[in-house]
Chain A
């Protein structure tokens, strides 16, 4: 029997070719934006999507002020990145990831998983305080932040059955190959569902999960009758309130879910326009970014354009395809391997609830449907979907407070693993 050697990471630097960069810039400079004539009333400019005025402004910024090479240099100087080939289901995928080792005593390994329309840069604002807390008595972390397969610098899978189960397995292998047979994980958006899948599938390795988005099916009457009736009452009381959790979820499903529907069923039909039109890609992402933040955060032009650039570089529908997990047979599988399962008591679960997130459930619902062992639960007055971008300090504090609440035995094991020479 041959033992497969463990794959080793190769250092990676972002380096978009001159020809692709000048192609993108050329397309931006000559982009056609049509106003369409109809001006929506004040306060409702975004009701039908990102307004033409905003697009013209962003195009102007992209043409005259945006400097990709400067952004690229900053990413390369701040983030230590790698790629590694990982085998899954007869396929070898190159996985891109950020990896920062902490120099602090007792640092523990933490996987941070981004979502859509995000990317690995969502770790930028939190990675330094995670690895190097100002206060030396605070918990430090070795941070691993992979790009989801199909996103940016991670290969897409050609397997039509590729699912969050596949991603969970790949991420688990990644941590193992990096020398972390036990670790904890944090995620929002798709990252929240990937990390939860990791905890369900690999509870011996993924011994802690923290999320800032909670997707869960309603409690089922046959499994938790009392909770089910609470759910019905709660739904009735809070249903109409768009500011409340259920109302916000319903608003998202009925008025904002089109992008999820089209990406889940026809990502290729959509992709030809997005790949061929940089400002089209920008509009597609930026629209969704706008409504999910709280009102004390403003996306900068540079952030918006950089996020679009990252999705443009690969030039395919890979990012959109993750939404196929919400449809058809793959949704049935998703129910089986995650949504109808509860994370076991061997995993320390934590959640941060931000009001402008669209998928938030109350703690009693989460206890029935998501995780048996909730060691940390914090509800905030402000904040939205992109916690690591909007409120990095708040998220880092929540991560620390969650870690402090974890099972001490597990923490000791994690520290031992974190200490091992790689």
Chain B
């Protein structure tokens, strides 16, 4: 069946922020469960987890749990322990129609807390921040407390996907700025990760006057052709070498999901839309390689998958082709105070990417006003999930400097 405009969840249409509860249609949850029950396992020759993908048995076990034990209602109740809102902001740039948004909004008890916009990235949603929100808003913690705004990127979670072409990271940046304005935050800070970092960087460029600071756990400063030339001449530092080599390993072995998503979202998403277990495997492969050995429960894996699957994965995957473009990653430098943490994967299964990406501060300084830098050799790609307290402490350390 074709569900062109069906979000499969309750989404009150409103032009100003309105409180609501996440309520996913039972039909789509049941559909996923039936497909998990009917899951046809792939009889692959490689029976173990490897660089080539999950072990077949891991997938069958996941499918069986999904079909028989997974409880979406419990997950939904957990989501609703934070306050959810919908709103609509005007279209902008290349995207001419209004943009509906879903976001979490939690205020600190301290009226003078800093407004902080949290922007997730690929394969994640607003839910990535679930373990840090209460810590951040807590005014009795040492250090700053924050009013938290955590939207879903369009096409992810409960923010509807774009309905027209042209919604790139700059359009999303402008939409999020309009959101903060609607909430009455004239000035605010941004904390980002993964492709959310691209959006955050555009906010610092296009809305400089409104951004207090930018904190990120993923500053994606790639080696330039100059860096590679110096590397070929053995003129790079040890720190640069480690990063160049792990970056090469990433692109040689692990990055093809991004190429496939960016080039042919419609080709790929047919299978992922029709096979929720297959989609879970696609996402689990990335988690397995990049989360520093964090042991996801089946509940976490399935909930994360469903959050991307409920409205259909095409919306989020299609955005990839607009976000991950070289032209969208050339940022003019601004003076926005920037704090960068790096989290390695020494406990992860693939040593060649344990230090990916760890650009040296000197590279970051080409693109941002770096005032805080901290490198951890553990934590992985989603530190707000695997190391929530440390992530918050590091963020607070950055904000102390301002």
Q: What is A's interface to B at a CB cutoff of 8 Å?
A: 23, 26-27, 30-41, 48-52, 55-56, 156-158, 160, 255-259, 261-262, 264-277, 279-284, 287-288, 314-318, 324, 327-328
Contacts and interface: CB of A to CB of B under 8 A. Distances in A.
A158 B56 CA distance: 14
B237 interface: no
A284 B52 CA distance: 18
B141 interface: no
Given A48-B321, A270-B53, A273-B281, A265 B271 contact: no
Interface string B227-261: 00000000000000000000000001111110111
B83 interface: no
27 contacts: A23-B38, A31-B1, A32-B312, A36-B315, A37-B162, A39-B164, A49-B265, A49-B266, A49-B268, A50-B267, A51-B266, A158-B45, A258-B256, A266-B51, A270-B53, A270-B282, A272-B275, A272-B278, A273-B279, A275-B41, A277-B271, A280-B271, A280-B272, A284-B270, A314-B43, A316-B45, A317-B42
Contacts of A315: 40-43
Given A38-B163, A317-B42, A273 B54 contact: no
Given A272-B281, A274-B278, A37 B263 contact: no
Interface residues of B, number: 64
Contacts of A281: 271
A33 B259 CA distance: 22
A273 B260 contact: no
A259 B264 contact: yes
Given A269-B53, A318-B45, A33 B1 contact: yes
Contacts of A258: 256, 259-264, 268
B42 A271 contact: yes
A265 B114 CA distance: 44
Contacts of B311: 34
Interface in B6-40: 31, 34-35, 38-40
Contacts of B268: 49, 258, 284
A11 to B, nearest CB: 25
A280 B42 contact: no
Contact of A38 (B41, B50, B162, B281): B162
A265 B253 contact: yes
B44 A268 contact: yes
Given A34-B4, A49-B264, A314-B43, A271 B53 contact: yes
A271 B59 CA distance: 11
A49 B267 contact: yes
Contact of A259 (B51, B260, B266): B260
A282 B273 CA distance: 13
Given A34-B3, A268-B53, A279 B263 contact: no
A34 B310 CA distance: 10
B219 to A, nearest CB: 25
Nearest to A160: B46
B252 A328 contact: yes
Nearest to A316: B43
A266 B278 CA distance: 13
B271 A274 contact: yes
Contacts of A264: 256
Nearest to B259: A258
B303 to A, nearest CB: 18
B281 A269 contact: yes
A280 B44 CA distance: 18
A38 B155 CA distance: 11
A40 B164 CA distance: 8
B299 interface: no
A157 B315 CA distance: 37
B106 interface: no
B277 interface: yes
Given A262-B259, A280-B274, 5 more contacts: A35-B2, A40-B165, A265-B256, A327-B252, A328-B253
A269 B282 contact: yes
A38 B5 contact: no
A48 B318 contact: yes
Nearest to A262: B256
Nearest to A53: B2
Given A49-B264, A259-B260, A269 B253 contact: no
B385 interface: no
A271 B44 contact: yes
Nearest to A265: B256
B118 interface: no
B42 A33 contact: no
B269 interface: yes
A48 B264 contact: yes
Contacts of A36: 4, 161, 266, 269, 312, 314-315, 318
Nearest to B155: A36
Most buried by A among B31, B269, B277: B269
A269 B270 contact: no
Contacts of A55: 270
B71 interface: no
Contacts of B315: 36-37
A277 B270 contact: yes
Nearest to A283: B270
A370 to B, nearest CB: 26
A268 B3 contact: no
B215 to A, nearest CB: 31
A272 B54 contact: yes
A55 to B, nearest CB: 6
Closest 4 CB pairs of A and B: A280-B271, A273-B278, A268-B53, A49-B266
Contacts of A271: 42, 44, 53
B285 interface: yes
Nearest to B281: A272
B48 to A, nearest CB: 10
B275 A259 contact: no
A234 to B, nearest CB: 25
A38 B263 contact: no
Contacts of B41: 272, 275-276, 315
Interface string B295-307: 0000000000000
Given A48-B264, A158-B45, A316-B42, A266 B273 contact: no
Contacts of B35: 276
